[in-house]
Structure 1
Amino acid sequence: MAKSKKNEKEKLPKELTRNAWILVIGAIAPMLDSTMVNIAINKLQSDLHTSLDMIQWAITGYVLALAVAVPVCGYVVNHIDGKKVMQWSLLSFGLFSFLSGIAWNIDSFIIFRAVQGFSAGFITLLMTTLLMQITPPDKLGQLMAVVSTPIILGPIIGPVLGGAIVSGANWHWIFYVNIPVVIIAVLLNHFYLSSFKPFNPKAKLDWFGTLLLAGGSVGLIYGMMKGSTNAKNFFNSQMITFVIIGLALFVIYGIYNRIRKNNTVLPLRFFKSKNFTAANIGIFLAGIASNGPMLLLPLFFQNTKGFTAVEAGLMLIPQGLGMMVTRPLIGKMIDRMGARPVVLVSLAISLLGTIPFIFVHENTNLIWLGLVLFVRGMGIGGLQMPMMTDIFIGLDKQDIPGASVGQRIIQNVGSSFGSAVISAVVTAVVTSEIAGQMTTKLHQLAAMHTNLTPTVIARAKTSVEKAVTLNGYQLGFLVSSIVLIVIAIPAMFLSQKKVNK
């Protein structure tokens, strides 16, 4: 009987569970969309008769618009019922998904994708922000376990689904497939989602602060993108310029926040909280440790194992399964023990699933790799969720939008930074080693009295490029492992609860 009461106490209230899953369903389409489009780049380039650089602008525009939406959404939910904001965001996302699908040239495609990204930024932020308003403090962990579902599914299912759609139909359907999901989400939202009172109706529109945060985010993210796309010269003039602009805007925001005495869209007084600061530092580093390898793993399977994009996506499924297995357990563990022990254990498991990739080679057994990825998924799945939960500890309800804005900005910048740094590491290794190893290989062939025909030289070049690229991937995984170890430092400042036996 006592055990039954305990289980009943640990369960999420039905209304909260219903609201959580309705919001999650709405967020699935944006999460999948952002990963599916990458699979269709070649088709888009061909059908829209444009260059790869212009297609990249459509992808970049989506990410930047998503970043701009974060502080704007923080203001809107202070003044308008969150249910209405979510409905309009979903309808906007669905409409511009359709328009992206029927885009007639690259210019229209870039514009429609940018507005689609802006809508997605609202949806993903609302998913967390609205639920924080109605969730008891002792249920935050379980709630985050539900909310993290689309975050987990997006990178795993997106590439596989995108590849299947492009192969079986055409790139237009990558966008059309969002429409039925949006319709279902809007209907559920309208009939079953609870209303959410505005967080702080008296708050005035902080246009200047919003523009500074949006501009700072765009500057840093775009700078990181310019570094990763030209990783041979990572610290190129464009990268440095935009990063400096981004940092300068954040510094100006700090001064502005001080003048306004924290009466801003993101009050910096939040950083006086040990939990808030430690959690955000951890989230930033976790973005590097998780997003960097998510960039490397598909490339490893394609360039080293010779897999197609869809096959590479399928190989990542074990990692997603690992995340899904631990997700419900982690939520309950956070509520019972606090974030610190959960993050520290997750770090140890993540290292067990990442370190083996430092030593992988082209003949490494696929079953072994699948098992390692499953372990890695179990660990990575328990990193960001506890830290996201810790951010909201001790905050008043009117502070939740501002805290969500800060968390999302740091998460977005950390993810972009992770991808950029890992890209730069791999490219630096390839650039520095390929000439020397190619010379050594040709000397070896000459010493064996091999006739250096163009065919022999081409084969030698392919062999060397494969070996050098593998070295780059291995170093990238080493960097990720080091970052995982560093996360233990801010993790020590997260919350910890006494476990009642």
Structure 2
Amino acid sequence: MSAPGRTEAPPAAADPDQIDPAVWRTAFTIIVGTLAVVFDTTIVSVAINDLTTALHASLSTIQWVSTGYLLAMFVTIPVAGWAQSALGGKRLWILALGVFFAGSVLCATAWNAPSLIAFRVVQGIGGGIMMPLMITMIMQAARGHNLGKVMATVSLPASLGPILGPVLGGIILYLGDWRWLFLVNVPFCLVGGWLALRNLPDDRPAPGSRTRLDVVGLLLLSPGVAAVIYGLSRVEGSAGFASAEVLAPLFAGLGLVGAFVAWALPRAGDALVNLRLFRHRSLASSSVVGFLLGITLYGALFLLPLYWQQVRGEDALGAGLLMIPQGVGTLLSRRLSGRYTDRYGPRWVGLVGFAAVALATVPFAFVTADTSKVLLMAALLVRGAGVGVATIPLTGAAYIGLGHSEIPHASIVIRVAQQLGGSMGVAVLAVVLQHAAGGAHTRAALTGAFGEAFWWSVAFTAAAVPICLLLPGPTRAAPTVDPVEVESAVPA
């Protein structure tokens, strides 16, 4: 209590450059659970040959261990926004993490290929909800403040997963049984679930405030996106894009997505995904750049291990270990990128990041069978740093100017754009490599084919550089506040 006649000084204003500890607590809690999903998405990729032997199945059958997982993810991603409004973020996160945990344990007990594929679908259902929900919950907690610093933390597992996942998978297969590829998820799920119960705020919706599920939109968008991804996934093992096995699902999927666009635009926020948010230049430009980032990241991740194995004679573990410099570069660049994004805005930081990735990919376009590994690993270090620099401003820029209730829709859009880009990148570069390597009977000819494919990767990355100019410039983002919350805060 203050002495009579004295007035207490008002509390000091919070430093706008300091992030609320509650935001860090939410981010750490969610990232722990997310690590299981982001590593699992790529960790199985190095185990395909081992699984064909262990489960006595053909390669075409075992490929569905990865394809089924990805398709299940894409079927459930569009539902994340509605499910959060119906259950609340905390309860939905724990439920999705539980589904992923159950799928992981079941995968480790699989007795044949069909059972493993079915259990991977269970995993994909949980992972499809978790990935967009991760960004949504943290961005809602941050409320538009210090997006660069926040995204430097949030997007760390999503960026490192594709890079370090194959390394972890190679180590597990070298030391133990394939079942540990799935059991390694268990600690992340258990600790992540405990932290979520303890740290995440209870944000269950008020009675009567739940939104109705857009069933028509769900029946159009989810199978549409899944069909596009399935069609692209068949490019590598078929006669390129001209194959009916590719074109039939691809055009069917595009038709369904087009029908969803026609259905959703007039309905705005009542649709499964609010497509009117594309009126925000920040989200529209981030989606395009995110699509190209998916091509840049996943396309090169398709080429690089193949180069190390087919041209340089490395095994799966050796190829994975040679990818470590790229992960180190990503890790080292993130904090600096977040700081400069908050200071100078996403536009210039993103442009520098993509330019660095393009330049660092050029040495691989000149590779020979005897190119110095030290030189290539140095290029991978720079390339990884560029990926880290480009990812943070891109992800944060998408949410600038959006309201609290619009963030879940934006998260779905960004996630789908990046994954479609990744699938397109792998498909296109697979066709380029197959065409260039057709009839190659010498190692020099095969090396030249890889060089041509890497030039395509450079071109895709360079295309993102001018588009980065459409990203927001330097500005201090205002907090994202839902008008409903403001209304409810006004005294009656």
TM-score (norm. length: structure 2): 0.91
Measured at CA, do residues 367 and 16 of structure 1 come closer, stay the same or move farther in structure 2, by a change above 3 Å? same
Secondary structure of the corresponding residue to residue 383 of structure 1: helix
Question: Offset at 1:377?
Answer: 0.7
For 1:101-152, what per-residue CA distance to the aligned partner results, in whole angstroms no more than 9, with x for missing partners? 1111222111100110111111212110111112132311211111111112
The superposition leaves residues 152-198 of structure 1 with CA deviations (integer Å, 9 ceiling, x where unpaired) of: 22122221221121122110111111112211111111112233354
After the TM superposition, which residues 316-331 of structure 1 pair with which residues of structure 2 at under 5 Å, given as runs?
316-331=323-338
Q: Deviations over 1:261-317 (max 9, x none)?
A: 552011221112211111101111111122111111111111111111111111111
Q: What letter matches 1:28 in structure 2?
A: L
Contact kept in structure 1, 2:150 and 2:338, CA below 8 Å: yes
Are 2:33 and 2:192, in contact at CA under 8 Å, matched by a contact in 1?
yes
2:198 is the counterpart of 1:221? no
Paired residues of 1:100 and 1:109 also in contact (CA < 8 A): yes
Q: Which residue of 1 aligns with 2:462?
A: 485
Amino acid at match of 1:298: P
2:300 to 293, 297, 309: 293
Distance 1:498-1:188 versus aligned 2 partners, 3 A rule: closer
Give 3-state SS (helix, strand or coil) of 2:145's partner. Answer: helix
Q: Is residue 476 of structure 1 aligned with residue 453 of structure 2? A: yes
Distance 2:128 2:319 in 1: 28
Using the TM superposition, give the Cα deviation of residue 97 of structure 1 relative to its aligned residue in structure 2, in angstroms: 0.5
Secondary structure of the 1:49 match is coil
Q: 1:24 aligns with which of 31, 40, 53?
A: 31
SS of match in other structure, 2:234: helix
The residue matched to 2:289 in structure 1 has which SS? helix
Secondary structure at the residue paired with 2:146? helix
Note if contact 1:78-1:401 (Cα within 8 Å) is conserved in structure 2.
no
Task: Flag as ranges the 4+ runs of structure 1 deviating above 6 A.
Answer: none
* Per-residue deviation, 1:229: 2.2
Shift in Å, 1:407: 1.3
How far is 1:420 from its partner? Answer: 0.7
Kept in 2: contact 1:130–1:196 (CA 8 A): no
- The 8 Å contact of residues 429 and 472 in structure 1, kept in 2 or not, is answered as yes
Question: What amino acid sits opposite 1:146 in the alignment?
Answer: T
State the distance in 1 between where 2:307 and 2:246 align.
26
> 1:6 Cα deviation (Å)?
12
Work out whether 1:113 is the aligned partner of 2:120: yes
Distance between the aligned counterparts of 1:337 and 1:177, measured in 2? Answer: 40
> Aligned equivalents of 1:296 and 1:493: distance in 2?
30
Classify the secondary structure of the residue corresponding to 1:229: coil
**Shift of residue 473, structure 1, vs aligned partner:** 1.4
User: How far apart, CA to CA, are the structure 1 residues paired with 2:18 and 2:236?
Assistant: 44
Q: Per the alignment, do residues 182 and 202 of structure 1 end up closer, same or farther by CA in structure 2, a change over 3 Å counting?
A: closer
Structure whose residues are more often helix by fraction? 1
Correspondence 1:202-241 to 2 at 5 A: 202-230=210-238, 232-241=239-248
Q: 1:269 aligns with which of 272, 276, 286?
A: 276
> How far, CA to CA, are the matches of 2:359 and 2:14 in structure 1?
32
> Which of 170, 177, 192 is equivalent to 1:163?
170
Q: TM-score, normalised to structure 1's length?
A: 0.89
Equivalent residues in 2 for 1:424-435, closer than 5 Å = 424-431=431-438, 434=440
Q: Is the 8 A contact 2:289 2:394 kept in 1?
A: yes
Q: Secondary structure at the match of 2:472?
A: coil
Equivalent position amino acid for 2:276 in 1:
R
Total equivalences in the alignment: 464
Unaligned 5+ runs, structure 2? 1-11, 477-492
CA shift at 1:259, angstroms? Answer: 4.4
What is the CA distance between 1:400 and its match in structure 2? 1.1
Q: What are the residue-to-residue correspondences of 1:76-475 with 2, within 5 Å?
A: 76-198=83-205, 201-230=209-238, 232-260=239-267, 263-431=270-438, 434=440, 461=441, 464=442, 466-475=443-452
Q: Do the aligned residues in 1 keep the contact of 2:89 with 2:133 (CA within 8 Å)?
A: yes
Which whole-Å deviations, capped at 9, do the CAs of 1:233-263 have from their partners, x for residues lacking one? 3320111111101110111111112443552
Deviation at 1:21, TM superposition (A): 1.0
CA-to-aligned-CA distance 1:29-74 (integer Å, 9 cap, x gap) = 1111121112221221122221111111121000010111111112
Distance between the aligned counterparts of 1:212 and 1:312, measured in 2? 40
Q: Residue type matched to 1:116 in 2? A: Q
CA contact (8 A) 1:358 1:478 kept: yes
